Amino acid sequence: MQRTIVGIDVGTTKVCTIVAQVSDAGSMNILGVGLTPSKGLDKGVVVNIDDAVNAIATSIEKAERLSGYRIGTAFVGVAGRHIASLNSRGVVAVQRPDHEITRNDVARAVESAQAVAIPTQREIIHVIPRAYVVDGHEGIRDPIGMSGFRLEVETHIVTGEVMAIQNLIKSVQKAGVEIDDLVLQPLASGEAVLTAEDKDRGVMLVDMGGGTTDMAIFVQGGVWHTSVLPVGGTHFTNDIVYVLHTPHNTAEYLKLKYGSAIAGEPPAPDDTSDLIDAETLTVGEKQQISRHLLNEIIQARAEQVVELIYNEIKRSGYEGMLPAGIVLTGGAAQLSGFDELVREMLGMPVRIGIPSDLTGLADSLDSPSYATGVGLLRWGARHGLSMLGPTHRSEERQGWGNVYERFKGWMREFLP
């Protein structure tokens, strides 16, 4: 049996809609892809709903035309500078007289963990079970069927600003699509480019988009830390604009064509092969710029990003505990030499994560840029609609629906 799933990655620089057929065995056949430049977003946050709606609608229309499928609902990625996370622990007494732990006990423990102080302007996006403790015995992944008097659960809670989330929801709905579920983008990207072994050993996913860099640390099979840096690929381009006084589209071209995160040795004074012809901010005027200078500009920003990544690893408490290293994905991760720079500065294994195991129009998605879009499909295939609250499809929704219903999907994932 096959079902059709749609993922919409609403990013700062692009909107990508992907339609796929997924079989019960998990194989994924790509039917259509709709890609369009993003408008109305800044650092992952909607700042102009009309522009955002037009970009999303255009992307959806392209995917529909290519796939021949009428899109009614979709899994949508959420990110941005408003995202925050915390860890919480819930505790309950086992209810059954014979003290056997049931799914209901697990659901109550997870619900208990959600009882944390959240500011009124924020709401919970995900409550993710990480590990369980039964009568003081830690590191238990599946407590169901075990005996005990006291059950504790460690959870990772992701929150976002209410208005930012509502504006994203409105933008998608006004484009004619209802939302199956909102999914934190690095969690979605992890579905596309990380293996079960990566997550079990300990790995950091770094999803570098246009406006933000989204990160997630996975340990023992689950997510233990998430964060968002308000810096992405557009910052590299803007640096080139400011220093070299060149138009934005020219700066973007120079970055993609000649850019590298490692500048290398400067050329000899008489070496003209280092020079590149480029436009200036004055219409009709040309200039010659040094490729080495271009890459020095890029390297300065790249080193700053790596330092921010390292600071986030230290803040998470997992420094030295990520044997699988760092997996870079997202469009900005394609910058030449960036993976090598991360490897040199942090002394960790580093690789570029690219979506795989796809059929159909898979060639069009053979890039880190599409990790979130493909990951949304895999998320939908894995969790399905069981994570939806009954108010997800309403503009007047006040929360995320029935807690037990929302957690059942997580329990199927972590408690087979």
Instruction: Count the neighbouring beta carbons within 10 Å of the beta carbon of residue 380.
Output: 26
Give pLDDT tens digits for 268-296.
777 778 899 888 888 888 899 999 999 99
- Three-state SS at 307: helix
Task: Say what the pTM is.
Answer: 0.86
Number of Cα atoms under 13 Å in the Cβ half of residue 178: 12
Residue 246 corresponds to which amino acid? T
Residue 47 CA to residue 45 CA, distance in Å, equals 6
pLDDT in tens, 161-190: 999 999 999 999 999 999 999 999 999 999
Name the phi and psi angles at 76, rounded to 5.
Answer: -120, 135
Nearest to 56 by CA among 68, 79, 74, 69: 74
Average pLDDT, the chain: 89
The pLDDT tens digits for 92-136 are 999 999 999 999 999 999 999 988 888 889 999 999 888 899 999
The closest of 214, 223, 221 to 199, measured between CA atoms, is 221
pLDDT exceeds cutoff 90 at 335: yes
Rounded CA-CA distance 248/27 in Å is 41
| Residue 18, pLDDT score | 97
Q: Which of 50-54, 139-143, 201-205, 347-351 has the lowest mean pLDDT?
A: 139-143
Q: Residue 160 — φ and ψ, nearest 5°?
A: -145, 165
Choice among 23-27, 219-223, 233-237, 293-297 with the minimum mean pLDDT: 23-27
* CA–CA distance, 375 with 377 (Å, rounded to integer): 5
CA distance 374 to 370: 6
Residue-wise burial string across 49-79, b where 16 or more C-beta atoms lie within 10 A, e elsewhere: eeebbbbbbbbbbbbbebbebebebbbbbbb
Cα-Cα-Cα-Cα dihedral of 344, 345, 350, 353, to 10°?
A: -120
Helices (H), 123-247: 162-174, 185-193, 196-201, 233-244
Q: How far is CA 144 from the centre of its chain?
A: 31
Where helices occur in 68-179 by DSSP H, the ranges are 103-113, 162-174
pLDDT value for 387: 35
